[in-house]
Structures are given as C-alpha cells and as structure tokens.
Chains A and B, each alone.
Chain A
Amino acid sequence: MERRVVITAASAITPIGHGKEQIVNSLQNGISGVKPLREDELISRFIHSKVYGTVDYAIDYDFKRQYRKTMAPCAYYACQVAKEVLAESGLGEEFITSGKLGVAFGSIHGSPITQRDIYRTFFGATDNEAYKKIGAVDYLKSMVHTTAVNITKMFGITGRVISSGTACTTSSQSIGYGYESVKFGMQEAMLCGGADEYDTITVAVFDNLLACSTAFNNDPQRTPRPFDKLRDGLVVAEGAGAVMLEEYEFARKRGANILAEVIGFACNNNGGDLILPNLDGITNTLRLGLENAKINPDEVDLISAHATATKMGDVIEAQAINNIFGNSPYVIGLKSYMGHTMAACGSIETILSLYLMQEGFIAPTLNLEEIDERCAMIKHVQKIIQHPVRIAAVQNFAFGGVNTALLIRKLS
C-alpha cells in the first residue's frame, strides 16, 4: 500500500525569526541571523570561530511545571514548534491521542547544556553532597530522544516514536521516516522535526577540524558564504523546525489546509569515510530521491542545497547536483541566512522551501558575491527573483556519511 502524504502545518524557530512572517521578511530583505559567539564560561574563549547563528529574541513559553521539569532548552524549542504545528493543523485532541499520530523528532545529542552540568557534577563529586546534585531528571533532559518524548508527554501523543540522532540529517530523516510511516499505512499522521540548543561543544568540534568560519569574526553577517570564493567554513546555529504530515485523503476529507505534498525521500550512506564529502554517495542520494518521487530531474524548480560553506563540501555538492540535474533548477544555500542549525537544518530548510513555494519567490544565497569557479556549473541565485516553485528538493548530508534528499510539490 502506497498512500500520498501531505504537509498540513509548519513552524520554525530560527536565527532569522520565529514563524512564517518574520522568516519570510528576513528572506526577502537579506537579513542574517549570524551574531557574535556567546560566552559559555567554559571553552568559548579557546574557539577560533567567534560567530554563531543566534536565536536572540524572547519566546513566550507557556508550559506548566509538570512539563518543564524534564525539558532542556532543545525541548523548549521542540515543544514550542510542535505546539504551533498542532494548533495550525486543526487536529483535535481525540485524534492526537488516538495512536494514529506519531512523532519523529530529534536533536544531535540531546541537551549539551544539561550534559555539561552532569559532567561538572561528576568531576566535582568529591563527597556525597556533590554526588546528589545529579538530579532525578537530568537523563530525561539530556537523552538523545528528549525532544520527541517531551512532545509526546505534553500533548498525550501515543503513536510511534522515531528519534534519529544523525547529526545534520537528523530532521530530514525525521520528515523522511515520518513520510514513509504515513505512506505505508503505519500512521495516519506524523509530527516531524528537529531541534538543537545553543552549544559550543559542536562549535569546538568543527573548529578543531578547521571546518568553522573564522575570517569574519568581526563581521558575522558576512558568513557563512556558500559557494562563494571567500567562504571559509560553517557557522554553527541553534533552532527548531516542525511539520505535520498527514495521509492525503484523511487531510482532504477533514478540510485541512494542505501546504504541499511530500513526493519522495531517499537516504543512503557513503559506505566509507565518516567526514569527507563523497561525490558518488551524494550523487546516488539525489538520483534515488528522484526515483522515489517518480519525477524527472527537469521537473525540479528549486534545490535547497546542504551548502554549509566548507571548502570541499560545497564543491562536491555542486558537482553532484550537476551530475543529476545539470544546470536546470535554481540552487540556493539557506544556511547563508542563519548558519547550520544542526539537527534542525533539514526541517527548517524544508519549511523555508515551503514558504518560497507559497510566496512565489526565490531567496538568493546570502553572501554569494563571487561564485567559486569550481561550483559555477549550477544555477545559483544571487538576487531575489520572483519565480514560481512547483517542486523543491531539500538536500542534507551528515557526519557519518549519511545523506538525505526530500522532494516536495505544491498542490495545484
């Protein structure tokens, strides 16, 4: 049994805004959410990259204590976007708690802020008093599926739980596996997404691998620079994104507002190195995505590239796109606006692609001033253009050699 799957609600907390209106405004006006790296009183002073995609606005959380007690910052983000998506979808409580709705949600490693506090206690535990500071809820706050199960608890969701923790493909897998769960009749609906909180450990890891941007520390908004000649690495960021996926007939019959259809998903592995981008692996992902969606390459209007702005990653991705799509679709790197939101990036980039589809324009890759000639064989966007987007492809690649491709289509 193969069923059609549609998106009926979407919401995101990003460095360029919370919710559609703010985010679209940032995309239309070239506003960046990259700011100076915040002091963490631990390792930030050693980190060479002094930039961070920052959520620096207040969010009006309204969670009761019985929910808050097991929530770290990543779960606050996750539950907030989940709450907004549930409200927007119009699904009633009876359905939400029926077992027909599942959750696919993740973060790259739970809550690093909580983990840091746990280790601080461990290493300082010279007596019983210090030992007892490890709280009863610390594991629940920090475990890798904390975002997913805080959502299930808060809203009484009783369907399946999928919680990928595959670094940068975490939430593209959430949407992909959620899509498959509905497509193959295992759930009627899936709430899918990802969230990551402020975290300097991730910055330090990339920094030590020489993969972080350092040349624009005094001018944060000029980085990251996907596909640009002067790009010098990624910028780590925080945020969250969530979408509601539903079986098409179910959504149509209940009169849901259908935003787009998910028409394909592919996930594979490079089968080798855990870090280096792999042209064969990525090329296969893009081909498998098109096969899964049963469409031709020239039907894709827009590609949201993973485009982290690392030296080699962007070149390999441009080559892979060219191998499969030639020079036909427009290609944009949405991380140029906010940095790399890690677990959230796949869902956020899907949601932003959805917004472009709805609003009929294509946002340029920010900071793309001089295209690197090794990336020049694809159709870049350097200025905002008014152009309808019927089919968009969202590409994400992760440490561990995991690759994903998601394809969404506007319903006519």
Chain B
Amino acid sequence: MTRQEIEKEIINIFRREFEVENPGLDENLREAYEFDSIDAIELLLEIEKLLGFELTQEEKKQAMEIRTINQICDYIEGIISQRSLPGKK
C-alpha cells in the first residue's frame, strides 16, 4: 500500500466513522475535532480491517500518542514495514 493509498483510506475512515470532512494532514485531531481515546480505539479497529490482520497490544499502545492524520499514516507504514521484516508475521 502506497502512502497515498493509506492517506486516502484514512480520510475515508474519518468521513465515514467520525463525521470529519477533509481534515488537514497536520491538524491536531483532538483540538480540531475532539478526537479522544475512545475514538482512537475505534480507529484501531478500522486500521486492523484495512491491514487485514490484528494488531498486538504493544502496537496498539504505540498509537495512543498519535495526534494527526500524517502521524496515523506514519504509524501504519511503520506497522507494515515491521511486519515485513524477516521473522515477523
């Protein structure tokens, strides 16, 4: 999945699940849209669906500090690249 594709999917998720239209990529989601820890948990479920595999508890905890769309994309890219390392499933 390219960065552009990830970005498009995340923006779709925000529109569909969180009723947020066209968020700025570096906008602080908490400040701009009151995106809170409950939303973050819901977002992780959506990310699991997108990736087609389950995130570990450790991976999920890493996501709790995320504040922007760009950071979400970074996070997903990071997960994909970690999972593709030899010895990881």
* A positions within 8 Å CB-CB of B: 65-66, 69-70, 128, 132, 135-137, 140
Contact = CB atoms under 8 A, between A and B. Distances in A.
Contact of B19 (A65, A136, A140): A65
16 contacts: A65-B18, A65-B19, A66-B33, A66-B34, A66-B36, A69-B38, A69-B39, A70-B38, A128-B54, A132-B45, A135-B42, A136-B38, A136-B41, A136-B42, A137-B38, A140-B38
Given A135-B42, A136-B38, A137-B38, 12 more contacts: A65-B18, A65-B19, A66-B33, A66-B34, A69-B38, A69-B39, A70-B38, A128-B54, A132-B45, A136-B41, A136-B42, A140-B38
Contacts of A70: 38
Nearest to A140: B38
Classify the secondary structure of A's interface with B: loop
Interface in B35-63: 36, 38-39, 41-42, 45, 54
Contacts, number: 16
Nearest to A129: B54
A140 B42 CA distance: 14
Contacts of B38: 69-70, 136-137, 140
Contacts of B34: 66
B24 to A, nearest CB: 18
Contacts of B19: 65
Nearest to A133: B45
B59 to A, nearest CB: 15
B41 to A, nearest CB: 4
B46 to A, nearest CB: 12
A308 B19 CA distance: 44
A68 to B, nearest CB: 9
Interface in B3-52: 18-19, 33-34, 36, 38-39, 41-42, 45
Contacts of A136: 38, 41-42
Nearest to B38: A136
Contacts of B54: 128
A309 B75 CA distance: 61
Contacts of B36: 66
Contacts of B18: 65
Contacts of A128: 54
Give the residue among A132, A135, A136 with the most B Cβ atoms within 10 A: A136
Nearest to B33: A66
Contacts of B42: 135-136
A125 B4 CA distance: 36
Contacts of A132: 45
A66 B30 CA distance: 11
Nearest to A135: B42
A65 B20 CA distance: 10
A212 B5 CA distance: 58
A128 B55 CA distance: 12
Contacts of A69: 38-39
Nearest to A68: B19
B84 to A, nearest CB: 23
A42 to B, nearest CB: 26
A65 B19 CA distance: 7
A65 to B, nearest CB: 5
B30 to A, nearest CB: 11
Nearest to B42: A136
A339 B79 CA distance: 56
A301 B19 CA distance: 53
A70 to B, nearest CB: 7
Contacts of A66: 33-34, 36
Contacts of B45: 132
Nearest to A69: B38
A65 B45 CA distance: 18
Nearest to A128: B54
A137 B45 CA distance: 13
